């Protein structure tokens, strides 16, 4: 069982049936089906049709004729597929193109007939709000400005302390801008700058973060990853300093289609719109002056689901929730994660709340590889965590947790897979992960992974030494392997070690 499979079973078991969202945008119509609708729902199906409803909206005021045919066909398939897949709740929402087109109401009537259910047209304010909610669902501590770029519009929203603030929607999507500027880059720049000048609250973003949502902007992140040989190919929560993003955006904005075609890994469907998407990003960053850019794979669709959760679930930590439940499904004993977290507290006295949170998540994942072949447990667990469906964790946190579980299974620290994760961490973070993993290894070998033992065998610093104290009834658990595992932790920390067996 993989972490993705465990996450899918997790949401199915806890939150019931499948839920789906059909998102009718200016450029595409997309269906995403989630297994359950809990705190971090697992996407189990994702399909997109490039209908191009807003292709000529700026000049005609109407939805594109070919786009209408494509959108209707997609809706017919998606609603039928949702029935076949047993989706219990389906949201069908339309955004900027349908909202702004003169024949938008006619489209909604026909689309609702095809779907057999109402199609909801989101207002610009709703679109902005749900996009921000999606980012907050995955990055609860997001602080700054969310920007969601679609084909027909750009939504910008202030976020901080888990709340949505000032927001605006502007007709600045690449499809709309392409028509308005008629290929004139200077004119496009003027249109963007004029729209942004009407948002005086943008100065509140200075020194904070900009959260970029939308496929075109994620394509820019992918290009940046390739250029700098970034070791973790995970787009969600990829962070780049503002100056570096602006440098890249200005280059891409000035490239011809022929030059773009030579960029490895760039989808051909992005070739026409990517330069304008890059220009929009550059001008937003110039106006708002954030410290950095964080790319989010979560947006409007996830925001719709998140907004329906009761408050008691919205406040849950998505990382800890996922780690607990994945660990319970993939590990041997669900209770062992909490015990391991308490048992390792003294070893990490003085850690920050953020570090304690990562340690707790790692504790719950510390037994996920037990079913695998011993020769591959370390590498398999490392890759599962590096690429798993975790949110509420940045790349450095993801790498620390992955390295901890890699060390728990005695992975070779010089192996390429390990260096890949270590490359995004500093020496202190790598050492911390190694100590965590070595402690997990000791805890599991001491108890055989069985709950109810660790609390009677405290691991603590005493007289400058690291001491494992075995309760009298567990004294016979001592042995050569236990002492070797304890000594490994001692070597990492530069401390003597001993096992005590009080009478």
CATH number of the structural domain spanning residue 444: 1.10.3210.10
Domain boundary among 302, 326, 341: 302
Q: Does some domain include residue 310?
A: no
pLDDT at 7: 58
d(C-alpha 421, C-alpha 221), whole Å: 19
CB 75 within 8 A of CB 115: yes
pLDDT at 284: 99
Give the list of residues 6+ apart from residue 344 with CB closer than 8 angstroms, or none: 359, 363, 436, 439, 440, 443, 459
| Residue 438 and residue 417 in one domain | yes
Count of structural domains within the chain: 3
| Residue 148 and residue 297 in one domain | yes
Tell me which DSSP letter residue 409 carries. T
468 token code pair: 């494992």
pLDDT at 270: 83
Residue 109: strand, helix, or coil: helix
| Residue 187 and residue 164 in one domain | yes
Q: Does some domain include residue 312?
A: no
pLDDT at 2: 60
d(C-alpha 283, C-alpha 266), whole Å: 22
Question: How many secondary structure helices (H) and strands (E) does the chain include?
Answer: 22, 14
User: What is the residue range of 76's domain?
Assistant: 16-121
38 token code pair: 């809990």
pLDDT at 397: 98
Query: What residues are paired with 93 via a beta bridge?
Result: 23, 120
Q: CA separation (Å) from 246 to 281, 382, 424?
A: 8, 33, 22
| Residue 68 and residue 147 in one domain | no
| Residue 156 and residue 292 in one domain | yes
pLDDT at 311: 93
Dump strand ranges (E) for 53-198: 87-94, 120-121, 144-149, 154-160, 163-170
| Residue 81 and residue 177 in one domain | no
Dump strand ranges (E) for 120-253: 120-121, 144-149, 154-160, 163-170, 209-213, 238-241
Give the list of residues 6+ apart from residue 481 with CB closer than 8 angstroms, or none: 445
Q: Does some domain include residue 355?
A: yes
pLDDT at 442: 98
d(C-alpha 40, C-alpha 21), whole Å: 15
Domain boundary among 302, 330, 362: 302
Radius of gyration (C-alpha) of the chain in whole angstroms: 25
pTM: 0.93
| Residue 49 and residue 185 in one domain | no
| Residue 195 and residue 343 in one domain | no
Give the list of residues 6+ apart from residue 199 with CB closer than 8 angstroms, or none: 156, 166, 168, 287
Domain boundary among 54, 86, 121: 121
pLDDT at 3: 59
Residue 65: strand, helix, or coil: helix
CATH of the domain at 170: 3.30.420.150
Tell me which DSSP letter residue 471 carries. -
| Residue 170 and residue 271 in one domain | yes
CB 278 within 8 A of CB 220: yes
Q: CA separation (Å) from 81 to 19, 73, 237, 326, 401?
A: 12, 12, 31, 28, 37
> In the chain, which stretches have pLDDT less than 50?
10-13
d(C-alpha 35, C-alpha 46), whole Å: 12
| Residue 292 and residue 369 in one domain | no
> Is the Cα dihedral 98, 101, 107, 109 positive or negative?
positive
| Residue 359 and residue 268 in one domain | no
Burial of 361 (0-12, 13-18, 19+ CB in 10 A): buried
pLDDT at 4: 58
């Amino acid at each position: 069982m993989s972490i993705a499979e465990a996450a899918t079973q997790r949401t199915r078991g806890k939150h019931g049936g499948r839920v789906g969202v059909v998102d009718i945008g200016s450029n595409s119509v997309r269906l995403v089906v989630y297994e359950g609708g809990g705190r971090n729902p697992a996407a189990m199906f994702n399909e997109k049709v490039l209908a191009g409803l807003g292709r000529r909206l700026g000049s005609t005021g109407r939805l594109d004729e070919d786009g209408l045919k494509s959108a209707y066909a997609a809706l017919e398939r998606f609603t039928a597929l949702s029935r076949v897949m047993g989706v219990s709740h389906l949201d069908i929402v339309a955004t900027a193109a349908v909202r702004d087109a003169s024949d938008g109401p006619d489209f909604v009537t026909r689309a609702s007939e095809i779907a057999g259910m109402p199609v909801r047209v989101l207002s610009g304010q709703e679109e902005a709000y749900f996009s921000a909610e999606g980012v907050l669902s995955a990055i609860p501590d997001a602080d700054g400005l969310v920007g969601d770029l679609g084909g027909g519009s750009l939504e910008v929203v202030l976020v901080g302390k888990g709340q949505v603030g000032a927001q605006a929607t502007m007709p600045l999507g690449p499809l709309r801008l392409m028509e308005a500027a008629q290929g004139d880059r200077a004119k496009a720049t003027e249109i963007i700058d004029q729209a942004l000048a009407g948002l005086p609250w943008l100065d509140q973003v200075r020194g904070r973060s900009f959260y970029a949502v939308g496929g075109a902007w994620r394509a820019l992140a992918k290009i940046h990853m390739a250029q700098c040989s970034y070791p973790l190919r995970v787009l969600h929560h990829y962070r780049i300093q503002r100056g570096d993003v602006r440098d890249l955006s200005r280059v891409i904005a000035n490239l011809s289609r022929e030059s773009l075609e030579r960029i490895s890994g760039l989808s051909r469907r992005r070739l026409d719109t990517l330069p304008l998407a890059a220009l929009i990003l550059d001008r937003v960053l110039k106006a708002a002056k954030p410290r950095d850019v964080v790319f989010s794979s979560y947006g409007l669709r996830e925001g719709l689901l998140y907004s329906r959760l009761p408050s008691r679930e919205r406040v849950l930590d998505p990382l800890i929730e996922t780690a607990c439940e994945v660990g319970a499904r993939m590990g041997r004993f669900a209770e062992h994660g909490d015990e391991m977290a308490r048992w390792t507290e003294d070893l990490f006295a003085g850690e920050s709340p953020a570090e304690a949170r990562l340690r707790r998540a790692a504790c719950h994942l510390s037994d996920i590889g037990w079913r695998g072949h011993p020769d591959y447990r370390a590498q398999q667990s490392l890759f599962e965590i590096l690429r798993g469906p975790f949110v509420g964790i940045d790349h450095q946190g993801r790498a620390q947790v992955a390295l901890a579980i890699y060390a728990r299974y005695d992975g070779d620290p010089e192996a390429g897979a390990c260096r890949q994760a270590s490359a995004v961490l500093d020496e202190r973070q790598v050492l911390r992960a190694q100590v965590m993993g070595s402690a997990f290894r000791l805890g599991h070998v001491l108890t055989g992974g069985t709950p109810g033992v660790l609390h009677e065998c405290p691991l603590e610093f005493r007289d400058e030494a690291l001491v494992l104290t075995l309760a009298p009834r567990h004294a016979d658990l001592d042995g050569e392997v236990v002492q070797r595992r304890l000594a490994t932790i001692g070597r990492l920390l530069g401390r003597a070690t001993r096992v005590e067996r009080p009478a």
